[in-house]
Homo-oligomer: A and B are copies of this chain.
Amino acid sequence: MKPTITAFKASPDQGQGLARDMRVRWALEEAGQAYDVRLVTFAEMKEPAHLVLHPFGQIPTYEEGDLTLFESGAIILHIAETRDGLLPAEPNARARAIMWMFAAVNTVEPPIVEYEQAQFTDQGKPWAAERRASLVPPIRKRLGELSRRLGDADWIDGDFSAGDIMLVMVLRRLDGDNLVEEFPNLAAYVARAEARPAYRRAFAAQYAVFEAAQAEA
């Protein structure tokens, strides 16, 4: 059954592919699964029709027959469990790939999101500059730990998996900050992922939404 996902009608990231629908699009492309997209405005995301799908009023959601999911990690894990190409078959390797999915969103991402959000929430506050500087070392620490674990491997644990999708998309949030670049193996890891045909198709699809929104504006 062809699933339907939701994405921003006008993504605040200006087509950079940093919104969380990009992760899901990429996973669907890796799995060779066609999908439909329903675009929603910020106002629509807070309306009852969307809150039924996503109680926290965000994107993406995923609808497939009777199943409705939200939370990009859970959506990608569902795709990975029902299609080929995103998780190893061997049980221990599979458990480790899922481990990296959780590590991406629960250990690597939080200090990055905090740093990102500070740009908005701390604007004009007396603590803005000092706090922003204090948010960089925790990111650098995590990146260093991740870099040491990756070493000179192509992917984080054996073959490419959904764990790499989640990690790469979290690292991509630092695009333009010159932090990932301090760790050449991590920068190469992100570039390797971005060169995958499935990634490129997903990126192009979300970029087309941005272009359409620009044309409409």
Chain A residues with a Cβ under 8 A of chain B: 55-58, 66-67, 69-75, 77-78, 81, 92, 95-96, 98-99, 101-103, 105-107, 109-110, 113-114, 121-122, 125-127, 130-131, 134, 142, 145-146, 148-149
Contacts and interface: CB of A to CB of B under 8 A. Distances in A.
Nearest to A131: B127
Contact of A96 (B69, B101, B110): B69
B103 A105 contact: no
A113 B111 CA distance: 10
Given A67-B95, A127-B131, 9 more contacts: A70-B99, A73-B102, A74-B95, A74-B102, A77-B98, A78-B98, A110-B110, A110-B113, A125-B131
A107 to B, nearest CB: 5
Contacts of A122: 127
